[in-house]
Structure 1
Amino acid sequence: MAATLGLSLGLGQADVAAARGAPESFADLAEQISPSVVNITTTSVVAASTEGGPMVPEGSPFEEFFKDFQDRNGQGGDGAPAEPRRSEALGSGFVISEDGYIVTNNHVIEGADDISIEFFSGEKLKAELVGTDPKTDIALLKVKSEKPLPFVQFGNSDLMRVGDWVVAMGNPLGQGFSVSAGIVSARGRELQGTYDDYIQTDAAINRGNSGGPLFNMDGQVIGVNTAILSPNGGSIGIGFSMASNVVDKVVAQLKQFGETRRGWLGVRIQDVTPDVAEAMGLAASKGALVTDVPEGPAKEAGLQAGDVITTFDGKEIGTVRDLTRQVADSPVGSAVPVIILREGKTETLSVTLGRREEAEADEAVPAVAEKPAEPQSVELLGLTLEPVTADAAQQLGLPVGTEGLVVTKVSEESEAFGKGLRQGDVITEAGQQKVVRLQDLQDRLKEAKDAGRKSLLLLVRRGGDPRFVALSVDEIK
């Protein structure tokens, strides 16, 4: 009876699995993709460490023992630094063209003096570095081969759904050409980069898998295995692969230019939160709110602080992340239509994009202009405020000519404290109008209350970085 029941349950589970498309085996897929996956070994010269060694009194019976210890760990017998030594590291990668282009992680080959590629066939070739992109942790290598190499193609990572089967392959813990299978656990994960778009998977990924491919069931690369979340450095079923739709664009630029060339709009932005949307009278809390417009393409096109970017190059913008990626993926020098909301009205501007890498290299902080001091202060919104002086601006690291009201004290019981305002912050706008004098802020508060607004939108700078904060006007007496 029990055996019959067990058999019935087993058949039922198999039928369900078949109905959902679960593969009976990954063997055919593994055989198809293995020739395109490679093991990567790098070597580099590193200086021997002389720090952190034990301190032993001269003449101690342990003196000779610790001298031997230091010899083995980077110091000579006389205490002098040892000669530099060679360090070896392991990783994974995959071939994307028959003429020998190979994709891996930047951290796999960073600082390497020598890069060796081992193919599934056992053949080994030296690789040259074509280019790297630390922002997405992607590197492109090239080997010279007398025969065409087996390769794989990128798939569309946007088509992957949570629950879809995936296969990871690489060189985990130096074991070489190991296959693991799992599912897409989540999509759109952010770790710490501006351009992060990670696929989370429970397919086993360990040290050495870095740079290896994550495949869909068609044998297409839909991610590059980059990171694991682990308390001890081993796989616990939480791995992250950079989405192929990000990697494909980066690789194309590295192949063409040897470097990335991302579009640059030239604005500082933040998400439109519900309280900010209410303070601005917006119908929905979406879009990218412009907090600052320094010299650059956006300023030349007429964008202003307080504008909300709703559409970029025909694509709707829901969050800051959406805009950042759309801009980065746009060609440098292209004229792009940007739809904004300004004072309740829709406008379309044309922005000719610059290049982000050049803008970041050219950033400089000019001298601070002098401004007469205004010693008076006022307490509003749980804040004690004073007009910004030239000396205060310089001490706070603010951009040139910054005008506004500096926060000298914040009541810990206030809404302002709860929303992150602190001593040293500078309020430069209120109600999307510039504030220079204390009276300016008082006027904006009165206008907000008279208009029946529940909150007042403040533009706050901290160390030169701006953000909008909405504070309730109900607390104002």
Structure 2
Amino acid sequence: MDNQYNYYNPEQEHAGGTPGGYDNKPERVKKTTPKWVKLLCSALVFGLVASAVFQTGNVVGNKIFGTGSSGKTAKQASTVGSTKLNTTTNSTVNSDIADIAEKVMPSVVSITNMSVQQVQNFFGGVQQQESKSVGSGIIVGQNDDELLIVTNNHVVEGSNTLTVSFIDEESVEANVKGTDAAKDLAVIAVPLDSVKSSTMDAIAVATLGDSTKLKVGEPAIAIGNALGYGQSVTTGIISATNRELDTYDGELIQTDAAINPGNSGGALLNANGEVIGINSIKVATDTVEGMGYAIPISDAGSIIQNLMNKETRTKVAEGEQGYLGIQGVDVNSEIAQMYNMPTGVYISEVIDGSGAKKAGLSKGSIITELDGTSVNSMDTLKEQLQYYKAGEKVTLTIQTPDKGGEYKESSVEVTLGTNTQ
């Protein structure tokens, strides 16, 4: 059996020239020195030689390098009874992401939505309960009186009170300026006279990029109010473009940058620190990892511009709110695709004597917009009507079926009435 090690065998080492390896001459008796004496002498010799070499090295070192034994010793990093860590005073690491975050975070805000929802109680009845939700927003502009912030519609819908918190942690109330439920977009406004001058110095208006030029694999940075803990930064790449989901009317950017609850309405950035998307949706299942979606900023630009130029409204007291006078059914994207219908509110009944009846609205038509704001459900329609008083006029965009089964668009002006029911 082969062995990787070679062992010493005294029987294989021959001393002389006779067969068997032994001389025939009588062996001379030699005086031997005890082993301990040999070891002692060797140690003394080694010590003398080493000392001489060391001293010579010191002399040469001092002559040439200015070093050597000069009576000084290096200070120990730690001593017995006083343990210290060897640390550096320069712990700052600069990176492109850190620079981008520092530049863009002043333009991102946190949004708190306080709303009232109806919930079923223990006894089977229905009662109202205050609810709190959080999201993010991006400062995109300013007019003479207001600071304008874009976010998701689902961040602000159903709100009784909206609160915006800036980079310096100052908080002020905001009003909804306009929404587009179909595109999940909204613009809210903060009165400038409610913002401190120090806050104005701390915040910034975001720079919008061009999402049509995105390439799969390029870096992506998400900033937002994750879980309501305050602004945070996550990074990843652009995983895909032109993604379509059943829950959204349009195409989306897919990214693996972490997008968590509270990030909705926040910024998705490119490597130049430009906003390329508005974070909106995350796939959250046990079998999915790293699939978040953002609304492309180039697709949203015209909608945001339109919402920014709308008249800022505040909610009207419930007893003073205008009444349209219809009963309707939601036409969501799935039903619209199945029956070749536009998304909106299908008018199933028009109430006699109502503003809708007087304006000529009829059963079978579909309401798609109210004063330029898209309508995709009865909840959205009711939400918008909360900003109008009885007696005010609104312009509805109506899709009416013609004889060929196609829908024809028209605008109808309706004077809102009072709900007597």
TM-score in terms of structure 1 length = 0.44
The structure with higher relative contact order (CA 8 Å, sep 6+) is 2
The normalised TM-score by structure 2 is: 0.49
Structure number, greater radius of gyration: 2
